[in-house]
Each structure stands twice: as C-alpha cells, then as structure tokens.
Structure 1
Amino acid sequence: MTTHHLVVQSPGLSAEHAEQLAALAQAQGIARINATAARLLDVQHDDGTRAEVTGWAERHGVDTAFVPAGLKLSGCKVLAMDMDSTLINIECIDEIAGMAGLKDKVSEITEAAMRGEIKDFSESLRRRVALLEGVPADALEQVYTEKLRLNPGAERLISTAQAAGIKVLLVSGGFTFFTERLRERLNLDSAHANTLEISNGVLTGKVVGDILDADAKEAHLRAFAREHGAAQEQIIAMGDGANDLKMLGAAGFPVAYHAKPLVRQQTRYALNVSGLDGVLNWFES
C-alpha cells in the first residue's frame, strides 16, 4: 500500500493541532513545513480515519490533505483556476451591479447558482446580465481598479507553479474584461470567459456568443491539458462554485477553495482557511 502523509495547515496552526491530528491518523512522526503547516508522516488513510480527521480539522479550523509520500510539484503540468471568489476576492458581476444599485438583486441569483440551487448556469447568467442593461461600460474599469484584489497566496502559487514548468489556465464563467487583464498581469498561459456586449458606451444586458458554463470549463481544461501533454493525475484545478465541479472532476488534484458546501462535499481536497498557496505545502521539495 502506498505510504501517505497528512498535510495540516492553518494561519493559526499550533503544536497541539498537529499532535491531535497525528494521534487521530496514527502518524509515525511530525515534520514542520513552516509556521502555518506541518506534514504528519506515514499515516493511516482508510475511509474511517479520513472521515475522523476531516471532521476534527473542520471543527478546529484546520485544512487537511492526505497525499502520497514523495509528491513533487514538478510532476504536475497544468494548473487550472476559476476566477471569481477563487483567484480573486469578488464576484465581478455583483460588483458591476453594485455600481448601478442592483447588487442585492444580482448577488442573490449568483449565490443560488454557486450553491447549485439554480441548475442551469447559462440561464442564471443571462438573468443577471440582463439586469445590467444600461450600466455604463466604465463601471468595469472601476470594479477592476477599486474592488478586485487577488486572493491571499495567488501570486506565490502561480509564480511557483510557473517556475516548476507548470502551465496556468484561467477559466471563468465571468467576463473577458477581467480575465484578460489578469492573464497579462500574472503572465498566464491562457484565459477564457464570457464577453459582455457593449454598445454606445453602455452594457446591452447581453453576452456575445455562447455562455461559458460548467461543460465549457471542463472542455477548456481538457483541451489545455491535451495541448500540454498533461494526464489527469498531472492536473491541479481550483474552484469554489457548483459550476466548477465538472472541471474539478477532470483533475488529479481537485481543490475546493473557500468553497460552497456542495463543492466541498464532492471534492477530494479543500482549502477552507488557508490561502491559495496552501496547495504548495502538499508537495515535497
């Protein structure tokens, strides 16, 4: 049976956290990775142990990941990321709506879609975009400048992945106005999203072309992986909402990042309290 380690991490990780989890997982030792993370060595990883460890860790605000011993980041070839609420701190469409005093109406639909309560993402996006009819196109730049921030650990994750030879894909149900700026800013290899229609300096309330939904996210990831010769086990994918689940399912390392409960339940790995660069602690130097 493959030896597994248990990586535990939290901004407030204490020695007691690591020791308690080591006892639950019957670890053969504890190796501190850094101030916020530790590797528990040669742990039990049967379903019962995993459930007990995960339950305890969630109650105490600790992220856990059972990983095969000896994982190397350079063994991966592709990193795929969702944008809104994953790479960045906001849902762009909600903030655009906020510029027109419509944030509550739009964010209510956004939340329901991300929780998986609205099954048809394309329909939910069309409903939200329709509410933006007449909003000045300048609002997009204002959102990018005033509201949009990278989530903690984003730049370190991407730069470290790129240094290891990994190709980075940004694939979003959001908008190209933002993905293109982030692609240039972070030197990403590819980015895909929806295009808002603009006429006479205002949003028309429509999207140009087909909607980039869950199926399209998965298709873009699979095409990108083929382009770069990446097998499933060489793909890291990160997302937070229901429309990310198919993309996450195509990755060997699917990561629910500060995600909705539905996504956490269906995804093997999760970062609930750590930054995006928490992924890096799973790999050994």
Structure 2
Amino acid sequence: MFIATLIAKESLNERDIQSANISLGRADATIIRQSELIDGRVLDIFFDGDPVAARARLELIGNDVDIAVQPEANRLKKLLISDMDSTMITVECIDELADYAGIKAQIAEITERAMQGELDFEDALRGRVALLRGLGTSAIQQCLDERVRTMSGAETLVRTMAQGGAETILVSGGFTKFAKPVAQAIGFRSFHANILGEDAGVLTGGLDGPIVDSTRKVEVLQAASDASGLPMEQTIAVGDGANDIPMLERAGLGVAYHAKPKAAQAADVAIRYNDLTALLYIQGIAADQWVSR
C-alpha cells in the first residue's frame, strides 16, 4: 500500500481533496482510506496502484499544495541527511562571502550553473574558491552574522527527528567554517563540508583535504546507514541542486526542497510551496508532536 500526502501551504479545501481523488482514479489507483484533515492543511490518502503514475497525476493539482507519494512501510525515518546551502539556510555561503570580496555576481553565476548541473562540481568549486584568494578570514564571521539565516522549519525538522531517535547529518559542498555553526544552531548531530585554506589571516584560494561532492554525500549516507544498522528505506535525504541528486536517489526517500529542475525530477518528492516542516508531515508527524528547542 502507498500513501499520498497532500500538504497545503495554508489550508486544504474540499476542492483540492476531490481533485486528488479524481487524479488517483485517473492513475488507476484504488483508494483504501483517507485520514481526517491534519492541522487544517494536510491529508493522507492510502491507496493501491502505481506510485509513479499517482504522483504524476497528483502534482497537476497545484494550488500551493505539495504532494508526497511513498510506501506505507518505513514511513517514519530514522536517519536524516541534508544539504546546507539553500536547503537548511537561505543563502549560498560562497556567493555571500564573495560579496565581501566585491565579486558576488561573478561567483554567483558559476554557482547557479553548478547547481543546475551544467558544470563539473569540483572544478567549479575550486575555481570559485581561487577567486577568493587574499580575502581576510574575518569576512567569514561577518558573513555568518550578517547573511546566514536558517531556513523556515529547519530547526523544527531536525530537532523533532532527533528527539524521536533519528540520526541527523548535515553534509555540504560548502565550507566547515559555515557548516559547524549552522549544524550546532539547528541541532544536527554531525556535519561534513570542505575546508577553506587559510594562512596568516587570509584565504589562500585553495581547499584542504578531500572534496565533499556528490559522491562523498552518498558515501556519508551509506556509512551512517551501515553504522546505525538501518536499512536504506529508513533514511531521508533533502537537497536542492545537481550535487545532491545521487544522495536523493540513494536514500529511502529523496526530497528536493525548492530545488533546481534536475534535482526535483530525480527526487521522490519535490517540495515547492511549504517550508521544511513538510518533511515531518510526510512522515506522519503532526504539529502537536514537533520540537523546536
């Protein structure tokens, strides 16, 4: 059996529910039952049928309603792994850091192309970091203080899952100088990111150690799953760019969050309208069970 979860940005109306039932019928699905309305904006519909066809039909509903289709089994996840930039925080750190060097537009263009999957990730990362050579490391803390903001729902998502016993991992193609404080603020148990080269208080334009790229993200996911003795079906991954695609495809449930088209297409679920608390509703966790601090 499968579950189709409808999550409205504000309120779920009867017309949306009727549209969902009609859409499932057109996908040749058999509706078994449906939940009561949850928090005024969420509904679970349990059905038998083809989940791919069901998702395709349901996503035509629109009206600020996000759709998640997944197996009923292993709905509640025990491992969360997430990208950082434009996922757990609202900005791309390297773009904002570049602003302090006066080259934001130049670097942001490369970032966008890399996120769209048009450029090799490592080449694009090393090229952008090289342009930051000579920037004082004090700009990192200034950027954290002035630019880095937590994405809506991030802390609630992470702390609620952690309270429920889930492993929580932040894995970023960005930098440890940002990932460490972000992970601590939001409540992640661990983090992985790239190390900016520094010397005498300035950036060297290089990186120290191995690169955290798409391959490394999958390795972190697999290692954490193995270490916890969890089947992959009990893991959930969230990201927004091309660098996240292998991780989204490998996880039990891959969620593209306000993502680039390629990532949204590759993921099991694409969240377009709601904040990160949608990932709790997807797991069957209503607002009265959420934890923020």
Work out whether the TM-score is over 0.5.
yes
Deviations 1:151-173 (A, max 9, x none): 11111111110111001011100
Please report the RMSD computed on the Cα atoms of aligned residues, expressed in angstroms. Answer: 1.8
Q: 1:44 to 1:140 in 2, by over 3 A?
A: same
Structure 2 distance, partners of 1:217, 1:145, is: 27
User: 2:90 touches 2:148 (CA, 8 Å); kept in 1?
Assistant: yes
Matches within 5 A, 1:240-255: 240-255=240-255
TM-score by length of 1: 0.92
Q: 1:49 to 1:248 in 2, by over 3 A?
A: closer
Structure 2 distance, partners of 1:208, 1:50, is: 43
Gaps of 5+ in 1: none
Partner of 2:95: 94
Partner of 1:12: 10
Partner of 2:85: 84
Structure 2 distance, partners of 1:161, 1:32, is: 22
TM-score by length of 2: 0.89
Structure 2 distance, partners of 1:29, 1:192, is: 40
Alignment-mate amino acid for residue 11 of structure 1: K
Partner of 1:218: 218
Structure 2 distance, partners of 1:36, 1:95, is: 35
Instruction: Give 1:201 shift.
Output: 1.2
Residues 1:263 and 2:271 aligned together: no
Structure 2 distance, partners of 1:71, 1:214, is: 25
Matches within 5 A, 1:1-285: 2=1, 4-15=2-13, 16-26=15-25, 27=31, 28-29=33-34, 31-42=36-47, 44-54=49-59, 56-57=60-61, 59-69=62-72, 72-73=75-76, 76-118=77-119, 120-284=120-284
Alignment-mate amino acid for residue 237 of structure 1: A
Alignment-mate amino acid for residue 82 of structure 2: M
Q: 1:66 to 1:187 in 2, by over 3 A?
A: closer
What secondary structure, in the 3-state scheme, does the structure 2 residue paired with 1:244 have? Answer: helix
Structure 2 distance, partners of 1:47, 1:168, is: 28
Structure 2 distance, partners of 1:282, 1:145, is: 33
User: 1:71 touches 1:284 (CA, 8 Å); kept in 2?
Assistant: no
Structure 2 distance, partners of 1:234, 1:253, is: 8
User: 2:239 touches 2:257 (CA, 8 Å); kept in 1?
Assistant: yes
Q: Which moved more, 1:272-281 or 1:34-43?
A: 34-43
Structure 2 distance, partners of 1:46, 1:189, is: 33
Alignment-mate amino acid for residue 66 of structure 1: V
Alignment-mate amino acid for residue 21 of structure 1: A
What secondary structure, in the 3-state scheme, does the structure 2 residue paired with 1:96 have? Answer: helix
Instruction: Give 1:70 shift.
Output: 6.5
Q: 1:47 to 1:92 in 2, by over 3 A?
A: closer
Instruction: Give 1:72 shift.
Output: 4.7
User: 2:196 touches 2:207 (CA, 8 Å); kept in 1?
Assistant: yes
Instruction: Give 1:13 shift.
Output: 3.5
Structure 2 distance, partners of 1:211, 1:49, is: 38
Structure 2 distance, partners of 1:130, 1:21, is: 50
User: 1:136 touches 1:201 (CA, 8 Å); kept in 2?
Assistant: yes
Gaps of 5+ in 2: 26-30, 286-293
What secondary structure, in the 3-state scheme, does the structure 1 residue paired with 2:219 have? Answer: helix
Alignment-mate amino acid for residue 86 of structure 2: S
Q: 1:224 to 1:70 in 2, by over 3 A?
A: closer
User: 2:74 touches 2:233 (CA, 8 Å); kept in 1?
Assistant: no
Alignment-mate amino acid for residue 229 of structure 2: G
User: 2:9 touches 2:64 (CA, 8 Å); kept in 1?
Assistant: no
User: 1:25 touches 1:45 (CA, 8 Å); kept in 2?
Assistant: no
Instruction: Give 1:37 shift.
Output: 1.8
Q: 1:44 to 1:72 in 2, by over 3 A?
A: closer
Number of matched pairs: 278
User: 1:237 touches 1:251 (CA, 8 Å); kept in 2?
Assistant: yes
